[in-house]
Structure 1
């Protein structure tokens, strides 16, 4: 009898262990994060897996840009792919239009404890299409103004607080760029004047600083918006024609001009903060640096922004189960609650409670430029917009050409409008 009981208890224990093993939910995760972002995300995933024994994230990193989004679309169409993925909010309208993304309902968000009130309003809204939620933001990444404190001080353009002074207003900013060049620099400022992304982000910021409406009711740059676009492009073109910004400069050389001290200002993304921090730590920068929200050159503050977010693919014929959905939303919530380490990559956490912590408030320069979250402007809500989209290509064809002096600003703005409108129709 004793042997029988011992055997029975052992069987029960084995069954319990098996049931426990089966209860562990596996979450298949795809992202496009490489470099420093990739290292930080891997660390977060490892920590999640250690502290959440009921869930295991199995992550795969794919190639950034069009290859990633193409693979997501083709896999979802045949019922394959991940349970959750990173996604640029700027690509959301196209993802919804092509049937790639699954809506996350208000009840599902509530059950997971994910509340829109905990996110910056513009960021949360950018995660919606036609009022429906398709993603949960993870950060805000934007362009900022990097500056060489030593060069600004020499030109009497550095305030007592260690930040640039006299930069607001297009005339003041133009004068400051000239002053910096006259003080001995090769240029006043650098940015990527060749290609699409660097030009689009600055152009879109200056356009929105005029209160422009890039896309509305199926029309691009309708009415006087085309004139606002011309004004924004014209301001950028003047920097190049005045010789205070380099012509036809690719991404990496534009950064090198700043890090070498040849251009005391750089307009680029927050994702370059780790570059500056690492060079400074290694003693390779040669000057004190900082980063602030880009100046208000026209009527109101506005800065282009995008967001890494988490989305769920709409897998045809193999929809996510309630148990898997619960695990996915648990992971998303955890990631946002622990996003302070993600901020080390220069990003602004989308989750407001993290930005209110002492750890973030003392994280520089992030804390200084985090004010841009309140006036961030996301790409137009259109299936033609977003990362690696027709809007970027049309911008390269028309606005980049204008900035480099090969097209009149009005013609460039009208060309941008016409090219996008033709694709729309």
Structure 2
């Protein structure tokens, strides 16, 4: 008769002989530098510390055209990452190139997510014309209006608590710019007037606030959208003519005008919130500041927006089920811990984070979180989005118009002609 001790010894030996569960390594690519990069690295480190069975192997590549070119070429030869960050504005081009893998409801279930967990505008931007989801939104990053309280003291535009008030129209905003100039602001409104991104974001916001659409059914600025585009550019050129904005300022210079105390207002993305916060904490800012959703200057509330998202590259061979489960586990954890990403100024696309007490106590983030409901994403077309022909036209046509080299109507017609030609090829 076999003794109990012998049975236990045999059982233990059998357990020890079993192969250990293989650790999954998730190859990750992103394009995040600066404050964004620091915060994402902290999230990656946090995930790796909590998961012995899954480890993220992360690489940061150059933002913009270099990143998306690398994704396209790597997909062609089957050497892409397992997961990557992606701008939702680039999804239409990615679908044309066939570089993204659809994300199914079953995938979302593995991550502990559903589409209803996210702001509807971001899910819409992540969805292809076939109704499939091709990316999982991580944030909504949008244009906001920063303000220097010192230039608004004694005016109608600062309330008793030191908050911006009284700007409910274009006329109000321009009156505030003039008041700031009279209070000593050398350049009342700063934004990137010499580069594609800053000019496009302001232009698209003013177009969207008129209910305008840039691309409709494959046509650039059809019908009265042309008139609305001209009006948007006329408003911007007027700001130049009044001397309220810098002349052809590059991005870094436009930020320095505000942080250096020369501009009363700055139109820029939420991603500069950490810059302001860090300088204020270090005592190097020199003034009290705030940030709000871009006021409704024209007919309706709307603000240019984009999203950082997570996407899975398309592959010749279907991803191993265990690897895909690991990838979705990574994405789900990132969404559930996106409060760490909010400190970069972004609005988490995961609604539970945005509605949390911790996020609601973050300022000025909670103040402008409402823009998630009025976000105006770039046109869903392959010629639009980050580092696209649309951005090129902003630099090559809109910037010269701001400098007085083109009349707004002529600039818009030239932009239409150039982009229409690309769409019809």
TM-score, normalised with respect to structure 2: 0.95
State which drifts further: 267-276 or 397-406. Answer: 397-406
Kept after mapping to 2: 8 A contact 1:177/1:189: yes
1:188-214 deviations in Å (ceiling 9; x for gaps): 111110010000001001100000111
Q: Distance in 2 between matches of 1:415 and 1:163?
A: 41
Question: Which residue matches 2:329?
Answer: 330
Question: Which residue matches 2:215?
Answer: 215
State which drifts further: 264-273 or 406-415. Answer: 406-415
Alignment of 1:211-290 (within 5 A): 211-290=211-290
Q: Distance in 1 between matches of 2:105 and 2:8?
A: 50
Question: Which residue matches 2:67?
Answer: 68
Q: Distance in 2 between matches of 1:407 and 1:7?
A: 87
> Aligned-pair RMSD on alpha carbons?
1.8
State which drifts further: 3-12 or 212-221. Answer: 3-12
Q: Distance in 1 between matches of 2:34 and 2:14?
A: 48
TM-score, normalised with respect to structure 1: 0.95
Q: Report the CA distance between 1:185 and its aligned residue.
A: 1.3
Kept after mapping to 2: 8 A contact 1:155/1:183: no
Q: Report the CA distance between 1:52 and its aligned residue.
A: 2.4
Q: Distance in 2 between matches of 1:10 and 1:340?
A: 44
Kept after mapping to 2: 8 A contact 1:227/1:413: no
Question: Which residue matches 1:50?
Answer: 49
Kept after mapping to 1: 8 A contact 2:304/2:376: yes
Question: Which residue matches 1:163?
Answer: 163
Alignment of 1:161-200 (within 5 A): 161-200=161-200
Kept after mapping to 1: 8 A contact 2:236/2:402: yes
Q: Report the CA distance between 1:45 and its aligned residue.
A: 1.1
- Unmatched 5+ stretches in structure 2: none
Give the 3-state SS of the residue equivalent to 1:33 in structure 2.
coil
Q: Distance in 1 between matches of 2:64 and 2:211?
A: 29
Q: Distance in 2 between matches of 1:123 and 1:110?
A: 19
1:126-157 deviations in Å (ceiling 9; x for gaps): 11111220000000111111101121124342
1:71-127 deviations in Å (ceiling 9; x for gaps): 111111111111110000010011111010011123332454321111111011111
Kept after mapping to 2: 8 A contact 1:237/1:402: yes
Give the 3-state SS of the residue equivalent to 2:285 in structure 1.
coil
Give the 3-state SS of the residue equivalent to 1:200 in structure 2.
helix
Question: Which residue matches 2:112?
Answer: 113
- Equivalences, count: 421
Q: Distance in 2 between matches of 1:328 and 1:222?
A: 42
Question: Which residue matches 2:422?
Answer: 423
| Residues 1:67 and 1:11: Cα distance change in structure 2 (over 3 Å) | farther
Q: Distance in 2 between matches of 1:305 and 1:157?
A: 26
Q: Distance in 2 between matches of 1:71 and 1:87?
A: 12
Kept after mapping to 2: 8 A contact 1:143/1:294: yes
Q: Distance in 1 between matches of 2:351 and 2:405?
A: 44
Q: Distance in 1 between matches of 2:404 and 2:79?
A: 48
Alignment of 1:369-408 (within 5 A): 369-408=368-407
- Unmatched 5+ stretches in structure 1: none
1:12 to 11, 14, 37: 14
Kept after mapping to 2: 8 A contact 1:234/1:402: no
Q: Distance in 2 between matches of 1:322 and 1:244?
A: 57
Kept after mapping to 1: 8 A contact 2:105/2:114: no
